[in-house]
Structures are given as structure tokens and as C-alpha cells.
Amino acid sequence: MPELLNPTMDFVFKRIFGDEKNADVLMNFLNSVFESANEPLIESVEILNPYIDKEALTDKMSVLDIRARTETRTLINIEIQLWNAGDMPKRTLYYWARLYAGQMEEGNQYRTLQKSIALNILDFDVMDNKRYHNVFHVREDTTGQLLTDVLEIHFLELRKLREQAAGLEKRLVRWMLFLAARTRERMEELAEEEPMMQKALTTLEFLSQDEQTRKLYEARQKALHDYASAIGEAEDKGRMEGRMEGRMETAKAMLAKGMDIALVSEVTGLSLEEAQRLLAH
């Protein structure tokens, strides 16, 4: 039996939860999130972008999100991320804004704009707290009065859940542990008493046995790894440039005070030639 694909890979996650045949699985997962946040549950969900452009799999910048609409016309954007590319709060606000503003393309008036929800599932930490589920709205600072309910943003941080004991009585905990699980046995154990989770596992098993799907999975995995490597290299370069700029500024200050150029070179790590060039300018 082949090894199961990673359900937190965006390509696989969308094939499980973004397939029209699994709308009931998606609804169960969403209701576990809303249940945890004490928000109203939904009774139906329509998946708006069920298809995956194969070219997107090799495009490291592409976002394989899931967009859905509930029976009350609420719009939901679900994105799962394995690597932290930075600025996650700004990123999710951007995607929420696109989702919300996109309703005006039909010529609607402002009063007809419907609630839009951004749901982020992350395999890294973003929020500076120990909660694995954080929910944001727009509220007045002093009184906490809700300005409007049209904006709602959720962050589910898988690593935080793994780091603490959480009761399996919460449906969201079971789903998050399912996504974070790395063995078939653990997934089977979690799915034993949850029919929709069992359906998700069956879908994952089917995908894992399909040779073409595994090739597409590997292509997507490579694209995302390349993206993560590029981000890491850019950050390293930025840090190096920042350190060099800091050394240059320190050297300039020392030279301006008449300090010996050899001492400036020793303290800042600049070469004598670099320090001399600064002195000449």
C-alpha cells in the first residue's frame, strides 16, 4: 500500500476539500471551525472554484485556495500554507479584500455586499499567543462594539495544537489533528467516529494510489520547495546586506571621530581597503 500524500499540501488539500463531490466534507470542516468560534453553523456550501489549472502546479507563485459560498450567500476563502513567506496578516487581508470587493463586479450596491470570511490553515506560527484558533473582526477599541460582521478572519495554526494537550471532544481539534497526522494509523483512529473524516481519508487514499496524481503532487511539491528556498535566500541576502550597511555606518562614525583606521577595520570587520575608501569620501 503506497504512502499517503500529505493532506496539508495545498494541491492535495484542494483535491480533498475543494471537489464538488466532497462538498459535505468541506461543510463538516467549516462547521467545526464556526462551532469553535461560537459562530452560526452553515447548512450547505457551494464550491466556486473546484478545478485546478495544471499549469498552476508548477508555478511557485500560484495560490491553490478554495472559494465557497454558503446558503446565506456568505463567501469563504480557504488557504493552507506549509511555509511562512512573511506578512501573513497583510496577505490574508488582501485575499479577503479581493473576495469582498469581487461582489461589486456584478454591479451591486454596497448594501448588497455579503459577509466574507478568510480562513487560513498554517503549518507555522503567526499569532503571538498560544491559541491554535484565532478569530478577528472589526471592533471599536474601547467598547469592543462590532462595526460590521462582513469581515471575519480565522487563523488555524497546526503546530500550536501539536504542542499542547487538547480534548478530542472538539470537532475542530480532530480535524486539525487529522491534517497534521503523518501516519495512516493515526488518521484511521481519528476518523473512526466521524463519517466525513472517513470520507476525506478515503479520498486521500484514492489520490495516493493514483500514479498521475503522485506525479502532479511531486511537481507541486518541487515548486513550493523552490519558492521556500528563494524566500530563504532573499532573507539571508537581506540580513547580509543589513549587517554590511550597519558595519559601514559604524565605521563612518568611528572615522569621523578620528579613530585609527586599523582599529576601525578590526572592530567593524571591514577590510583596510574598504575603511580607506570610506575615509576618502
> pLDDT per residue over 17-67, tens digit each?
999 999 999 999 999 999 999 999 999 999 999 998 877 787 766 788 999
Q: What is the pLDDT, as a whole number, of residue 189? A: 93
Please give the residue range of the domain that contains residue 272: 243-280
Query: Is position 249 within any domain?
Result: yes
pLDDT of 238 reads 45
Residues 187 and 275 in one domain: no
Q: Does 257 reside within a domain?
A: yes
Last residue of a domain, one of 184, 209, 234: 209
Q: Which of 209, 227, 253 is the last residue of a domain?
A: 209
At residue 202's C-alpha, the angle toward residues 201 and 206, to 5°, is 115
Per-residue pLDDT, 39? 94
In this structure, the answer to whether residues 153 and 270 fall within a common structural domain is no
**Residues in the chain, pLDDT under 70:** 60-61, 106-107, 163-166, 227-244, 246, 257-260, 262-264, 266-267
Q: What is the pLDDT of residue 75?
A: 97
Grid cell for residue 185 = 494509523
**Do both 71 and 164 map to the same domain?**
yes
Identify whether residues 135 and 251 lie together within a single domain. Answer: no
